[in-house]
Structure 1
């Protein structure tokens, strides 16, 4: 008869101990509060869209004074962008970090775009650059930092026209904001 090595005895002991702990925890969990079933039924307005049938919170509603049709809406006061489809439904909305030079309220058109990474006026590597206006000698464009970071505060006296957003939002705006797309800037 062969002797069992000590290491196998330890492993077996630890395994049995672990099983005992899990069993004890399961018994304690079974004694806890149980969720109650409710008879909530879907209503006729339920759909696969989480926002369908539900009123949008005020912060995410497309501004009333932003026109109609397919467009990008940028609110200076809310620091927010909406990507609005041809049926006037917001397909996406997100917060942005504006530059120090703001476009005047009004209607613009996406002119040029730069998909390759470039260096922004604040020295940050940016991508998905969608130009739509110019003011005070600065180009105004939507973009996101290549590394996904928020923009640093600009140095005193530096003017920046970049309207930055998170990386996923920049990608969505890039796809939506083809050359010729209307951009509506509201207060």
Structure 2
């Protein structure tokens, strides 16, 4: 299984983010898993890629030419692909991945995971996506998504399909046993 990991190019201010990112990679190293990520050597991205390589995992990075020239590319990974735009980067990562896990990050992480959530909702992907909710990092996002559902902009089936936990074992089991929901259009036409 190739798991794409979305996360920040910063470490955040709380050391728990680094600790739990290492724990995640240590856990995944004992499974038949390869890592797909954004190709950076900075922050949590660099930490997970370097930790995975130290544990003999395969790590595939996808980075833009522009970011690579700013000397943040990690060349010490299994394979690094360079693409022209951030949009192409996200598309390529989605192609390479069988599942997705978001760790804490900023706008880029939010954008990446939002695109996967949208693809699940409209039925263009059946791949599972998880939020590794370290230190309650995604609690406010989940509250917002529940509000979207309460206001009639999100279906319960799609909200339920999002895997949210701070337990790595729980996340992995849910990724492995994922049952994709029907698309929004299939659900609405059946009701």
Normalised to the residue count of structure 2, the TM-score between the two structures is 0.22
More strand as a share of residues:
1
TM-score (norm 1): 0.22
Structure number with bigger Rg: 1
1 or 2, which has the higher helix percentage? 2
